[in-house]
Structure 1
Amino acid sequence: MTDRGHLTYPAHLQLATLKLAAGRTPEELGLNRWTIIEHQEVLGHGEECFREAGRRVLTWQAHRRARVRAERFGPLVRLHIGPLMSSCLVLLEEQTATRTALVYGTLPSHVELGEEAFLVDLAPDGTVTGRVVAFSRHSWWLAKLGGPVARAVQRRANRAYVAGMRP
């Protein structure tokens, strides 16, 4: 875990995406007034699939396949989505025998306030699952004004991120 820096959401919510992924409810975590978006898909089967999907997450290829360009400067990442640029702070990068995780939190220039986790899990039966879990609120006035459209764009991006994990 890294220093909070200037994250745009409360400190007690840091890494709450992992708790959501583990089955905790938004109410338990104090996320009642936040929008929760989750998407997961089976990516394939076996160790090779797991390693490759995890590599795609940690090297930002899953983002690139979703047409999001990432520039990394240590824990700081600038995400370029078309003409928009949003900054975030990497809070966790982890690889274990059964999980790869990348979690980042939003910084002041991000269009949303919140956190997003990108997970690749290897089940005991060899099934590889890709998953994105996020909690957020709109930050920019334009996103607030076009709330339903902005949420639809976010859901579409999360599906594209998971698709980008697939080897």
Structure 2
Amino acid sequence: MITRRELSYPPHLQLATLALVAGRSPAELGLRRWRITDHAAVLGHGPEVFAAASERLLTWQAHAHAGVRVERHGPLARLHFGPTTSSCLIIHEERTPTRTVLVYGTLPAHVESGEEAFLVTRAPDGTVTGRVIAFSRHAWWLAKVGGPVARFVQRVVNRRYVAGMCPGNFP
């Protein structure tokens, strides 16, 4: 069984994505040398939109919308994107009446090293927002060589994840 000890980033950074969401700065979390990506968008309004967006997130439809195929076996997930397969460990899942969260950390067989959090939230006024926030470093040699291209692809994929949370979008 794979455990958190096998993650490809330091243990003290586990769940740092949620600390970023809570307002802590990258510097105070020890993330100065990590690349932070953060994208959020309004998905709609009301409990029906929240429920549908949460379902799309937790059933990997948001990932499919971004062109990422996911195989999940318990806490282990393998992400297939283009010619790459990246392994990660689900380290946090949460579902409340106003917030749905999925966080995974990278394992050594991932093109990046770091953590990514996916959130769907419903504000008191009913506004539903989708968000992806991550900290990472390139781990795969090709991502290191093609750094600017890899960062561009990551930004595009993150935007597509959020768009894929929207109930009106289908892969």
Q: TM-score, normalised by structure 1?
A: 0.98
Equivalent-residue separation in structure 2 for 1:25 and 1:15 (angstroms): 13
Q: Which residue of structure 2 lines up, in the alignment, with residue 31 of structure 1?
A: 31
Give the 3-state SS of the residue equivalent to 2:67 in structure 1. coil
Q: Which residue of structure 1 lines up, in the alignment, with residue 131 of structure 2?
A: 131
Q: How far did 1:141 drift?
A: 1.2
Equivalent residue letter for 1:7 = L
Do the aligned partners of 2:56 and 2:62 also contact (CA within 8 Å) in 1?
yes
Q: Is 2:162 the counterpart of 1:162?
A: yes
Q: How far did 1:5 drift?
A: 3.8
Q: Is 2:80 the counterpart of 1:77?
A: no
- Per-residue CA deviations over 1:86-135 (Å, capped at 9, x if unaligned) read 00000011101110000000001100000000000000000000000000
Equivalent residue letter for 2:36 = I
Q: Which residue of structure 2 lines up, in the alignment, with residue 93 of structure 1?
A: 93
Q: Which residue of structure 1 lines up, in the alignment, with residue 119 of structure 2?
A: 119
Equivalent residue letter for 1:91 = I
- Give the alignment's Cα RMSD to 1 decimal: 0.9
Equivalent residue letter for 1:94 = E
Residue identity (%):
70
Equivalent-residue separation in structure 2 for 1:87 and 1:10 (angstroms): 17
Do the aligned partners of 2:26 and 2:32 also contact (CA within 8 Å) in 1?
yes
Equivalent-residue separation in structure 1 for 2:121 and 2:21 (angstroms): 11
Q: How far did 1:3 drift?
A: 3.9
Q: TM-score, normalised by structure 2?
A: 0.95
Give the 3-state SS of the residue equivalent to 2:4 in structure 1. coil
Q: What count of residue pairs does the alignment treat as equivalent?
A: 166
Q: Which structure 1 segments of 5+ residues have no match?
A: none
Equivalent-residue separation in structure 2 for 1:56 and 1:21 (angstroms): 21
Equivalent-residue separation in structure 1 for 2:88 and 2:72 (angstroms): 10
Q: Which structure 2 segments of 5+ residues have no match?
A: none
Equivalent-residue separation in structure 2 for 1:5 and 1:69 (angstroms): 25
Equivalent-residue separation in structure 2 for 1:33 and 1:127 (angstroms): 34
Q: Is 2:16 the counterpart of 1:16?
A: yes
